[in-house]
């Protein structure tokens, strides 16, 4: 269901904070709780949610990286995907953290991404973490729908990335990619939210940058 109301900035942060995972339950109860939490989140976020933040299928691509799931109680969902880049690559995408989407886009749709991230071990050279975040086509020419290079620090922040789809893509053709091989670093990624806001939306009216936890 597409909504016309647009919540941005701190309103979006508060909506995301409501989606903290509940304690372990029986399988049926856990599935019911997840469905209720997802419905509540979708009701608060602008546009149409294109992914399920509670069931992210994280994958790491690239030989110079290791990954693991870690407990982080202060962020929504209480878990993060930690990736260590052992050696910088020639290209940012030589190490990529990827996840699928559950919905596609039409040409002209505005896409807004909000994601929790931090630099557990920033680069010793730059003193910060960096990630090239893209909602992109999964095959050549790897067209970008929403993309930006973001700076990460040891504090958890909610980062925003936005863009306009230049073509039609179904869910099987696009996904999320965090390209992180530009430097040696250890990064953590929490829940992310990909929202299709539809057509006729000005990117200037959408949030950008990062907000503190």
Give CA–CA dist 117/153, Å, rounded. 8
* Spatial separation of the C-alpha atoms in residues 68 and 81, rounded to whole Å: 6
**Tokens for 67?**
């990954």
State the pLDDT confidence band at 34, using cuts at 50, 70 and 90: confident
In this structure, how many other beta carbons lie within 10 angstroms of the beta carbon of residue 92?
A: 20
State CA 66 to chain mean position distance: 19
Cα–Cα distance, 40 to 213 (Å, whole number):
20
> What confidence tier does 132 reach under pLDDT thresholds 50, 70, 90?
very high
What is the per-residue pLDDT for 18? 44
Query: From CA 132, how far away is CA 154, in angstroms rounded?
Result: 17
pLDDT at 37: 82
Q: What are phi and psi of 15, to 5 degrees?
A: -65, -40
Q: Three-state DSSP class for 171?
A: helix
pLDDT digits (tens, 9 = 90+) for 174-195: 999 999 999 999 999 999 999 9
Distances, alpha carbon 191 to alpha carbons 1, 87, 206, in Å:
22, 26, 19
The alpha-carbon radius of gyration of the chain (Å, integer) is 17
pTM of this structure: 0.86
CATH architecture designation of domain 49-212: Sandwich (2.60)
What sign does the CA torsion over 89, 158, 143, 42 have?
Answer: positive
CB burial of residue 108 (10 Å; 0-12, 13-18, 19+): middle
Longest Cα–Cα distance of the chain, Å, equals: 48
Q: How far apart are CA 130 and CA 72, in angstroms?
A: 20
Whole-number average pLDDT of the chain: 88
User: Phi and psi of 185, rounded to 5°?
Assistant: -170, 165
Looking at residue 43, its pLDDT comes to 83
* Of the candidate ranges 27-31, 38-42, 141-145, 153-157, the one whose mean pLDDT is the lowest: 27-31
Using the structure block, give the residue that is written with the tokens 């053709």.
173
> Given the structure tokens 């003193």, which residue do they identify?
127
């Amino acid at each position: 269901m597409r909504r016309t109301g647009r919540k941005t900035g701190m309103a979006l942060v508060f909506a995301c904070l409501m989606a903290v995972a509940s304690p372990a339950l029986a399988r049926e109860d856990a599935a019911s709780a997840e469905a209720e939490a997802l419905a509540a989140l979708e009701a608060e976020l602008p546009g149409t949610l294109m992914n399920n933040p509670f069931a992210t299928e994280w994958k790491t691509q690239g030989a110079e990286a290791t990954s693991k799931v870690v407990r982080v109680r202060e962020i929504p969902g209480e878990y993060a995907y930690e990736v260590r880049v052992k050696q910088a690559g020639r290209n940012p995408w030589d190490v990529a953290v990827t996840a699928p989407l559950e919905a596609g886009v039409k040409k002209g749709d505005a896409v807004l991404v909000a994601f929790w991230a931090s630099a557990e071990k920033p680069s010793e050279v730059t003193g910060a973490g960096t990630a090239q975040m893209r909602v992109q086509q999964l095959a050549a020419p790897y067209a970008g729908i929403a993309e930006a290079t973001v700076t990460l620090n040891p504090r958890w922040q909610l980062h925003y990335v936005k863009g306009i789809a230049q073509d039609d893509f179904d869910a099987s053709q696009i996904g999320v990619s965090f390209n992180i091989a530009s430097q040696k670093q250890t990064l953590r990624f929490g829940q992310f939210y990909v929202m299709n806001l539809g057509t006729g939306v000005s990117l200037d009216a959408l949030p950008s940058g990062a907000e503190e936890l």
